[in-house]
Structure 1
């Protein structure tokens, strides 16, 4: 996952989007998100997913 970093803290999964400069949702980000969702669907211990951005700006154009 090049644009998405997944961490776990107990039952919480933390997904950090890192696609500078504006964290645009492009094809690579979508592919990475699909991979994360697939991994989390198989995890019985995850109860919540928090999505955040590595940069100070949120997703944009």
Structure 2
């Protein structure tokens, strides 16, 4: 997994994990699960139950 972060906003500072994304060996892009309209831990639990890959980065869940 290779991780990237976009520059922080000059107006509002966001934590690095919010501005980050990962790309795995197969080219799949992983974004913060917190982007969903539900709680991050709910997204994580769904990935466990349906087999969707997920990774943890900076103590947060990232999904394709």
Q: TM-score, normalised by structure 2?
A: 0.29
Q: TM-score, normalised by structure 1?
A: 0.29
